[in-house]
Amino acid sequence: MSTGFRLPQGGLIDRNSQYRFSFDGRALTGHAGDSLASALLANGIQFVARSFKYHRPRGIMGAGLEEANALVTLGDGARSLPNAVASTEELHDGLSAHAQHCWPSLNTDFGAVNQLFSSLLGAGFYYKTFMGPGRGPKSWLFYEHFIRRAAGLGKASREPDPDQYETVNTFCDLLIIGSGPAGLEAARIAAEAGLDVILAERDFELGGALLADTGTIERQPAAQWLASQVDRLSKSVNIRVLKRTTAFGLYDGTVAGLVERRDPAQATTIPWRERFWIVRAKRIIIAAGAMERPLLFAGNDRPGVMLASAVGSYLNRWAVAPGRRVVLATTNDSAYATARDLAIAGLSVTLIDSRDRISEPLHRLANNTGIDLRLGQSVRATLGSRHVRTVDIGPANGQGAVGSRLACDIVAVSGGWSPTQHLLSQRGVKPSWNESLQAFLPGRANEPIDCVGSAAGLWRSDDCARSGRAIAAAAAAALGRKAPVEDIPAPGGWETPIRPVRLASDLNLKKIFVDLQHDVTAADILLANQEGYEAPELLKRYTTLGMAADQGRTSAVPALALLSEMANRSVGEIGTTTFRPPFAPVSIGALAGMERDKHLLPIRRSPLHDVVADSGAHMLETGLWMRPWYYPQNAETVDEAYLREMRQTRDAVGICDVSTLGKIAVQGPDAAEFLDRVYVNGFKAMKAGMARYGVMLREDGIVMDDGTSWRLSETEYFMTTTTGNAAKVMAWLEDLLETRWPELRVSLTSVTDQWAGISVAGPHARNLLAANIGELDFANEAFPFMAVRNGVFNGVPCRLARISFSGELAYEVYIGASHGPALWRALRNTAKELGGCAYGLEALGALRIEKGHVGGPELDGRTTLEDLGLGRMASTKKSFIGDVLRQRPDLRRDDRARLVGLVPVTKGEMFKGGAILAEQGQEDGHGLGWVTSVTESPSLGHWIGLGFIQGGLDKWQGKTVLAADPIRGRSTLVKIVAPHFLDPEGTRLHA
Amino acid sequence: MPDAAQLSTATPSISERTGWTLTQIHAWPESFAQAAGSVAAACGASSIPAPGQAAEATDGVLLRVHPQRLWLLQYVKAGALPDLPVDQGVMLDLSQSRCLLRIAMPAAIDLIAGFCGLDLRAPAFPVGAVRLTSLHRIPVTLWREASHVAILAPRSFSQSLREALEEALRHRG
């Protein structure tokens, strides 16, 4: 049915422009200044959507974010955007919109069959049907697939989003949200007082309700007043005006989240589609207006039933008459202006006011404009198929029967107004119910956030403007600026009080839709109440009322009014729910901004990154670092390559990039004392020129990290940490120094990036270094195990320590980062001559397993020194972090899982990390332990592993258990052995 | 700026500067004034900068990056600073640990605002202001020069940071 039409004149549209757009493939036209909804209505299209649960026909009911029905999908393919609100979407040339939640089409929707089963799909349907005795997980798992297919509003594209999004952090003195009369005046006063102001407006035009106001404000025509305000704003240097910008969340510290949409007319010049603004304001003024509430009657969801203010907006702002014969039902004064404008525009208007009496001016308004005014009446029901055709009306007290049936094509309704205070609610500010205004008014915030205008319950434009001025002046004063002081007007402003919503007793509750977006009916609320879900938070969760994309903007108060009637308690006693961000849907792209694809996280590159890549390394992401994984030769696989690298290292020499190890300079007179306190073993007695392996614990006695610390002088150490724990250890040490031991004169500096590090391991390590690091005696006596020496490479100083992770004769050499590549190339060339190679992360890990060194898989945040076989390292002569709590009886139990070595009983078999260790036949449950690290050992010719088993080596040495790996379908018998597979005496590393 | 400094310009607004040294001076609270005073005198700084401030030095800049910590950035190879007795504080060479990016004003402010929540408005971030913050999750030290914002970023992140900044610059057209 085609009902709407464009009026021949008026409105804020540019009739000289013509935009082509489409809806469900149908070619249509509109004008610049139109919203998608206004253009659809101008083309006679009211039926645009299907409802969520019952797939009932739904039409455009609002003109802003209060719209609960007209959700559409915009665009196609990768750029498609579901759940766009037609009434807030700015029309542009080429816009393509589609109805959603219907199949195969809007007109023929198979889902509409749900209406036949509506009596079965009431509140709590899923709980009652799929949960409870006899309906266990199997039944839910069977139905879940079908339920999930049916659930959800709209479908997101599965293609990568090709658009760009930006993030902007900014600061201001005052953030004003909303640009109606209150917001505009607040901005003006604040700017005149010298504040740095941001004015954010969701709409693509400034003005809020004034854009559709044909009345006056402060003795001027509204349009004229608005034009002069906008002109003033444009000339102000300290106001940033953000149009098309929705404030969706307020967070701690007066931080606001805003999303700005690109002006469609500038799509070719502005590269981003949306911008995410993070605004840190000293103060915030919420001038977001109020939202009109619908009325409750049977068939109140039928296309053609619209909010009265929306009808007024379409008429006055967009010059669109949504219909020709309008029945306007109200409980308050606000709808009279719309009725007047409709009548003046030549439409037939019947005004149904539920109140028995109204003020004389409103009487005169009706009489003078030819409005058919009926007092004390209310709408009981609408009739029609896909559009309203008639309404039944009856006494508003609900006592009498339907009195008459009126033909119409639009039913405009006004059930009162709800101040838009969702953002304030997000901050935990509870609103208070005002019985005379039938509205929740904002509570007082403990933060510098104020509500003004209709958001504070002021209904007259003059009062709104005044409140904006008064609050802005107060804000300016609070920020040390001067502004003219004004009184803040009291809430309200209607001459005749609003009449509370009351349902007639003979209504079909199943046809009264309280939450239009989630298809929650009055019957659902009644049922929930009868079943004990009386609190609004419980009602919300049981019925899903207010849980959809519109956040219950139009449904909350009508639902509470119903609940109040049913529970015989006032709305104020019942209270309301807490709103949470986002106030309006925000695209994931806007939140992600640039942090996607390769910019999802920053990448850390070792100083040797390019040179190891040139050496043919396959790189691997480990945390943020890119590290050389293996260096394939002749198309080797990773397994072939790392085993070869291990063999070459053990037989000759290998070099490995260890620049990623955490490195911390510990300097100062108390550096030794500091290390003594954080490591379990002592460092004070260690002489300069020596290094020591150290382990540090968390306060709870669990091992935190390990590494070596080199004593460079009496007052300076060079600490290394594991790559993965570098940042954590640095933060922990700084915390200790600043909060526990501020008396220590110690300086901690991360020098991870200062140094390129290369590990040189293997029997020829000494020869390799001697060939490249001049003037340094590498003889065993001159440079013993754990010694630290300074060297020179190509005239550049470097530092070396003889330490070994692989069990081989090994050194770590560190040189200034920019000189690392040259050192690498030199060492690599010499290594080749000596029959050695570069080895990567895979071989590094495998070499240490052969030696039985613990690594990341063993330091998993659960293990103690004793679990790792390192208990004897703990000093008994000093205290250290974690020493007290590591003595807890539970951590000292003999049956704790302790580190052991594992070898397969059948040498050719393999097993994997993560397998459970269990006795044969008892592999169900948690088992006796687990496997942490495995590798094939070229030295031993079979697989080996490290793991933990209850009781450790003392209980299990030489015994056989099962490495059960049910997920990967493999179980292997393994023998428990000592964790040092290779050279347990240390002959090689001391060579 | 001294001629000895090398500037390699990859885009019109972001450049990386090389050929400088960075020395950290960390002094103990009771001796900071004395240690910082001798460093300031040695490097030609007119004063000891307050925390969060920079002072111009001969051929460089002295940054107060922490109440007890100064960073002396020198664009030409200068003479060694006088030894600092360990009972006053310690010094550390960090010349290899950072990259130095410079972003030309006025684009710098908008560009950086895309990455971090610093108040970069002129009154809050005037010439000579030093801030420690995170850009693209990377810990950086930045300060305002007359025509640029300078950024010292960890060397390992430098390529990633630069790519992110340059892409953001392209986004802005």
**pLDDT, tens digit (0-9, with 9 covering 90-100), for A814-834:** 999 999 999 999 999 999 999
Q: Rg for chain A (alpha carbons), in Å?
A: 37
Angstroms from A426 CA to nearest CA on chain B: 22
Residue A766: pLDDT above 50?
A: yes
Nearest residue of B to residue A273, measured between CA atoms: B171
Identify the residue whose tokens are 């559409």. Answer: A72
Q: Which pLDDT tens digit goes with each residue over B75-109? A: 987 677 889 999 999 999 999 999 999 999 988 99
Q: Residue A67 in contact with residue A80, Cβ under 8 Å? A: no
CA atoms of A174 and A480, how far apart (whole Å): 13
pLDDT for B6 equals 43
Q: Which amino acid is at A839?
A: Y
Nearest residue of A to residue B26, measured between CA atoms: A747
Strands (E), A70-177: 71-74, 81-85, 96-99, 164-177
Q: Residue A350 in contact with residue A374, Cβ under 8 Å? A: yes
Which residues from B are below 8 Å from A593, CB to CB?
114
Q: What does the DSSP assignment read for A843-859?
A: HHHHHHHHHT---TTT-
Burial of B81 (0-12, 13-18, 19+ CB in 10 A): middle
Domain A661-751+870-886 CATH superfamily = Aminomethyltransferase beta-barrel domains (3.30.70.1400)
Q: Give me the half-sphere count of Cα atoms (radius 13 Å) on the Cβ side of residue A35.
A: 30
CA atoms of A926 and A918, how far apart (whole Å): 8
Domain boundaries, chain A: 164-290+420-478, 497-574, 601-660+754-861, 661-751+870-886, 893-991
Angstroms from B30 CA to nearest CA on chain A: 10
Which residues from A are below 8 Å from B172, CB to CB?
166, 271
Q: Over chain A, what is the mean pLDDT?
A: 95
Give the number of other CB atoms < 10 A from CB of residue A577. 21
Q: Residue A519 in contact with residue A259, Cβ under 8 Å? A: no
Determine if residue A786 is left, alpha or beta; phi over 0 gives left, psi from -120 to 50 gives alpha, anything else beta. Answer: left
Contact B160 A168 (CB under 8 A): no
Of B89, B120, B138, the CB nearest to A602: B138
Of B113, B117, B157, the CB nearest to A602: B157
Q: Residue A488 in contact with residue A468, Cβ under 8 Å? A: no
Domain B8-18+96-171 CATH superfamily = Probable tRNA modification gtpase trme; domain 1 (3.30.1360.120)
Residue B3: pLDDT above 90?
A: no
B90 in A contact zone (CB under 8 Å): yes
CA atoms of A399 and A378, how far apart (whole Å): 11
Chain A residues 167-206 with a CB less than 8 Å from chain B = 167-171, 196
Chain B residues 127-146 with a CB less than 8 Å from chain A = 136-138
Q: Which pLDDT tens digit goes with each residue over A941-959? A: 999 999 999 999 999 999 9
**Alpha-carbon A473 to chain mean position:** 36
Q: Rg for chain B (alpha carbons), in Å?
A: 16
3-state secondary structure of A137: helix
Give the number of other CB atoms < 10 A from CB of residue B85. 11
Q: Residue A827 in contact with residue A652, Cβ under 8 Å? A: no
The residue length of chain B stands at: 173
Which residues share a beta bridge with A710? A691, A718
CA atoms of A34 and A43, how far apart (whole Å): 12
CA atoms of A30 and A11, how far apart (whole Å): 13
CA atoms of A748 and A719, how far apart (whole Å): 10
Geometric angle at alpha carbon A519, from A420 and A425, rounded to 5°:
25
Of B28, B116, B117, the CB nearest to A745: B28
The phi and psi torsions of A180 (rounded to 5 degrees) equal -75, -165
Give the number of other CB atoms < 10 A from CB of residue B12. 9
| Interacting residues of A142 by C-beta distance below 8 A, sequence separation 6+ | none
Domain boundaries, chain B: 8-18+96-171, 21-93
Which residues from B are below 8 Å from A619, CB to CB?
none
CA atoms of A803 and A760, how far apart (whole Å): 10
Q: What percent of chain A has pLDDT over 90?
A: 89
Best CATH choice for the domain A164-290+420-478 from the list 3.50.50.60, 3.20.20.80, 1.20.1300.10, 3.40.50.720:
3.50.50.60
Residue A138: pLDDT above 80?
A: no
CA atoms of A806 and A830, how far apart (whole Å): 20
A592 in B contact zone (CB under 8 Å): no
pLDDT for B11 equals 52
Q: Which pLDDT tens digit goes with each residue over A863-881? A: 999 999 999 999 999 999 9
Across B104-120, average pLDDT: 93
pLDDT for A224 equals 98
pLDDT for A757 equals 98
Of B90, B138, B159, the CB nearest to A667: B90
Which residues from A are below 8 Å from B94, CB to CB?
749, 751, 754
Q: Which amino acid is at B20?
A: W
Geometric angle at alpha carbon B62, from B57 and B67, rounded to 5°:
150
Contact A667 B92 (CB under 8 A): yes
| Interacting residues of B79 by C-beta distance below 8 A, sequence separation 6+ | none
Q: Which pLDDT tens digit goes with each residue over A7-25? A: 999 999 999 999 999 999 9
**What CATH number labels A893-991?**
2.40.30.110
A674 in B contact zone (CB under 8 Å): no
Which residues share a beta bridge with A411? A305, A327
8-state DSSP, A571: H
Which residues share a beta bridge with A953? none
Which residues from B are below 8 Å from A816, CB to CB?
95-96
Residue A280: pLDDT above 50?
A: yes
pLDDT for A323 equals 95
Of B96, B124, B160, the CB nearest to A602: B160
Which residues from A are below 8 Å from B23, CB to CB?
none
CA atoms of A409 and A5, how far apart (whole Å): 12
Residue A747: pLDDT above 90?
A: yes
State both tokens at A958: 């030489």
B121 in A contact zone (CB under 8 Å): yes
Which residues from A are below 8 Å from B92, CB to CB?
665, 667, 747, 749, 751
A622 in B contact zone (CB under 8 Å): no
Closest CA to A459 of A419, A422, A486: A419
Give the number of other CB atoms < 10 A from CB of residue A86. 27
Q: Residue A786 in contact with residue A802, Cβ under 8 Å? A: yes
CA atoms of A35 and A39, how far apart (whole Å): 6
A278 in B contact zone (CB under 8 Å): yes
The residue length of chain A stands at: 991
pLDDT for A875 equals 97
CA atoms of A694 and A719, how far apart (whole Å): 9
Angstroms from B59 CA to nearest CA on chain A: 22
Contact A747 B26 (CB under 8 A): yes
Q: Which pLDDT tens digit goes with each residue over A178-227? A: 999 999 999 999 999 999 999 999 999 999 999 999 999 999 999 999 99
Angstroms from A865 CA to nearest CA on chain B: 33
Nearest residue of B to residue A196, measured between CA atoms: B121
Q: Residue A52 in contact with residue A295, Cβ under 8 Å? A: no
A718 in B contact zone (CB under 8 Å): no
State both tokens at A649: 């290292």
A3 pLDDT tier (thresholds 50, 70, 90): low
CA atoms of A935 and A848, how far apart (whole Å): 10
| Interacting residues of A193 by C-beta distance below 8 A, sequence separation 6+ | A472, A473, A476, A481, A482, A483
Task: State the angle between helix axes of A536-543 and A556-567 in degrees (0 to 180), rounded to the nearest 10.
Answer: 110
Chain B residues 53-72 with a CB less than 8 Å from chain A = 69
3-state secondary structure of A893: coil
In whole angstroms, how far apart are CA A458 and each of A212, A490, A745?
18, 7, 62
Give the number of other CB atoms < 10 A from CB of residue A485. 11
Nearest residue of B to residue A659, measured between CA atoms: B156
Angstroms from A673 CA to nearest CA on chain B: 15
Question: Which CATH class name applies to A497-574?
Answer: mainly alpha
Contact B136 A599 (CB under 8 A): yes
Best CATH choice for the domain A601-660+754-861 from the list 3.30.1360.120, 3.30.390.50, 3.10.129.10, 3.40.50.11780:
3.30.1360.120
Of B110, B156, B170, the CB nearest to A605: B156
Contact B93 A754 (CB under 8 A): yes
Across A420-427, average pLDDT: 96
Contact B86 A669 (CB under 8 A): yes
CA dihedral A896, A900, A904, A910 (to 10 degrees): 90
8-state DSSP, A690: B
Angstroms from B17 CA to nearest CA on chain A: 14
